[in-house]
Structure 1
Amino acid sequence: MKTLKQLLAEKTAPLAVTAPDDTVYQALCVMAEHNVGALLVLQEGKLVGIFSERDYARKQIRNHRSSKETPVRDLMSSRVAYVGLQATLEECMSLMTEKRFRHLPVLDDQGQVLGILSIGDLVKETISAQQFLIEELERYIAS
């Protein structure tokens, strides 16, 4: 199975981010442009939150303000779980399943953002690894 470093290296699209003072509308436009379900919220290069479709769907209705007036900081999740490159795919999937979120930032030892993994990235890699193992076992049995 691939490492987190290998998975992140395969992601060719630029990292989709927003700032806490950007409007929710601006953030939603970035999400649509990049076809992603969450944005890392960075301030001066540091991770300060994550803004997801779920944050918008669950919090904006209570906000009573327009998305063009509401800053991302009002809706973002500021307590963000993250992992380092040493984490395994199994640990990432377990954390995401237990905490019930779909996007997981990966940070280096200095707290710099290296990338973000979605549950879809992890499931795709797990299926690929299992398919490889099945094919290898079939070859072994047939020989």
Structure 2
Amino acid sequence: MTLMDEMLDADDLSDYMVHDPIKTAISAETIRRLSPRKPITLSPSATLQEAIELMQAKRIGAVVVVENNQPVGIFTERDVLFKVLKAAPDFLQTPLKDFMTPDPVSLFIEDKIAFALNRMTVGGFRHIPIVDHDGVLSGIISVKDIVEYLAGLFPAEVYNIRPEPLRGGFGSAEGG
């Protein structure tokens, strides 16, 4: 089964609009409701050092790599952890294009929040560039933005969710 086979089609989201207010909120609202922030961008030729220093200075988890205002890649803190640390000692001067995730999934501001959450879950990533219908980068959202949105709408429900393991979890509350 391919990634595309696993992803929900935007039209199929109505099946998930049950009477649960949180599910209804993310199924009905568009990404616009999250107020995507202005993305921090770099070119593919920027160095890893530039990217890492920028991410530290701006306290962000991702930079979008652009050419002609269109996203061609995304570089995240996970790329630093899982790709960069395996590189040669002079990795800080290596071009960003050697470590970025190329051709990142991007969405439109009109897409549903549930669709964004589905893409993140199935794809295993936490940031999604937002583009206009010409493919021009206009924003970025993260899973944190979705959680903050839901916490603002349903503080009692979100802050009082009982911990339940997502995938079978651990044998005890302490993980042992």
Same fold (TM over 0.5): yes
| 1:91 maps to which of 98, 112, 115 | 115
1:94-135 CA-partner distances (Å, limit 9, x unpaired):
1101111010111110101110001000111122223499xx
2:76 is aligned to 52
Structure 1's unaligned 5+ residue stretches are 134-143
**Could you tell me how far 1:60 is from its partner in structure 2?**
1.4
1:8 is aligned to 35
Q: Find the residue that maps to 1:30 and give its secondary structure.
A: helix
Q: In the aligned structure 1, how far is the partner of 2:41 from the partner of 2:70?
A: 11
Q: In the aligned structure 2, how far is the partner of 1:111 from the partner of 1:132?
A: 38
How many residue pairs get aligned? The number is: 131
Q: Does 1:39 align with 2:63?
A: yes
1:54-97 CA-partner distances (Å, limit 9, x unpaired):
11111113221423321100000003111112211111111101
Q: Which deviates more from structure 2 when the two are superposed, residues 18-27 or residues 122-131?
A: 122-131
Q: Which amino acid aligns with 1:60?
A: V
Q: In the aligned structure 2, how far is the partner of 1:91 from the partner of 1:127?
A: 18
Q: In the aligned structure 2, how far is the partner of 1:48 from the partner of 1:94?
A: 21
Q: In the aligned structure 2, how far is the partner of 1:68 from the partner of 1:99?
A: 27
Q: Find the residue that maps to 1:27 and give its secondary structure.
A: helix
Q: Does 1:66 align with 2:90?
A: yes
Instruction: State the TM-score, normalizing by the size of structure 2.
Output: 0.68
Structure 2's unaligned 5+ residue stretches are 1-24, 158-176
1:136 is aligned to none
Q: In the aligned structure 2, how far is the partner of 1:27 from the partner of 1:75?
A: 11
Q: In the aligned structure 2, how far is the partner of 1:131 from the partner of 1:69?
A: 45
Instruction: State the TM-score, normalizing by the size of structure 1.
Output: 0.82
1:128 is aligned to 152
Q: In the aligned structure 2, how far is the partner of 1:41 from the partner of 1:57?
A: 18
Identity of aligned residues (%): 26
1:103 is aligned to 127
2:105 is aligned to 81
Residue pair 2:71, 2:103 contacting (<8 A) in 1 also: no
Q: In the aligned structure 1, how far is the partner of 2:33 from the partner of 2:156?
A: 17
2:167 is aligned to none
